[in-house]
A and B are shown apart, each in its own frame.
Chain A
Amino acid sequence: SQKIEQNSEALNIQEGKTATLTCNYTNYSPAYLQWYRQDPGRGPVFLLLIRENEKEKRKERLKVTFDTTLKQSLFHITASQPADSATYLCALSKTGTGRRALTFGSGTRLQVQP
């Protein structure tokens, strides 16, 4: 069956360090992969999208990689700040009919200590 795995344990890092979050998937051939941020009591907010034919995408302090052979995406936040503390969700598209629908991982909570 299709499965998306994110580290369920919280990631604690010191301010200024690089945070790296992992998203692994099985039995998917996604056309694209997206990362979202979710704060408590709020809806997820889109951060970055990377397509199946792209290896890496950057936006300011954020970087996403996508390895369709390993079936893995890495999400990096450089020079992390306490304001980056949140839960980060990866989401994969389906293929074929219904590809606009996203399936989300369970998320990884990031805590950046000042």
Chain B
Amino acid sequence: DAGVIQSPRHEVTEMGQEVTLRCKPISGHDYLFWYRQTMMRGLELLIYFNNNVPIDDSGMPEDRFSAKMPNASFSTLKIQPSEPRDSAVYFCASSPGGARNTEAFFGQGTRLTVV
């Protein structure tokens, strides 16, 4: 398996524009997580899904952020409109189902810069 695949790897956009980040989890994994990492705040959980259903979106900073998982092999995180403070590295991770296999497998991340 190629692991968790994120695209794009880098994104530079202007303030006010819509940004869409994409993620393909590892096949067969039941859980998908979106994290954001900054120097100031570290790695923060934004939202996670179980079997394509959002379970906890309490980390989504505000209504400008939305995430979808239309099927088991694809998820998007959208920011509309984007702001400079959204600049960060966004990671997608997936995890197998079951009570014992709880480790998360991370993608390479998308470095977002909003100017």
- A residues lining the B interface (CB < 8 Å): 32, 34, 41-46, 49, 89, 91, 93, 97-98, 100-107
- B residues lining the A interface (CB < 8 Å): 4, 31, 33, 35, 42-45, 48, 50, 55-56, 91, 93, 95, 102-109
Interface of B is mostly: strand
Select one of A43, A45, A102, A105 contacting B45, CB under 8 A.
A102
The residue among B31, B44, B50, B106 with the most chain A CB atoms within 10 A of its own CB is: B106
A91: chain B residues within 8 A (beta carbon): 104
Across the interface, do B91 and A43 meet the contact criterion of CB distance under 8 Å?
A: yes
Across the interface, do B103 and A42 meet the contact criterion of CB distance under 8 Å?
A: no
Across the interface, do A102 and B104 meet the contact criterion of CB distance under 8 Å?
A: yes
Across the interface, do A32 and B102 meet the contact criterion of CB distance under 8 Å?
A: yes
Across the interface, do A101 and B33 meet the contact criterion of CB distance under 8 Å?
A: yes
Across the interface, do A45 and B102 meet the contact criterion of CB distance under 8 Å?
A: no
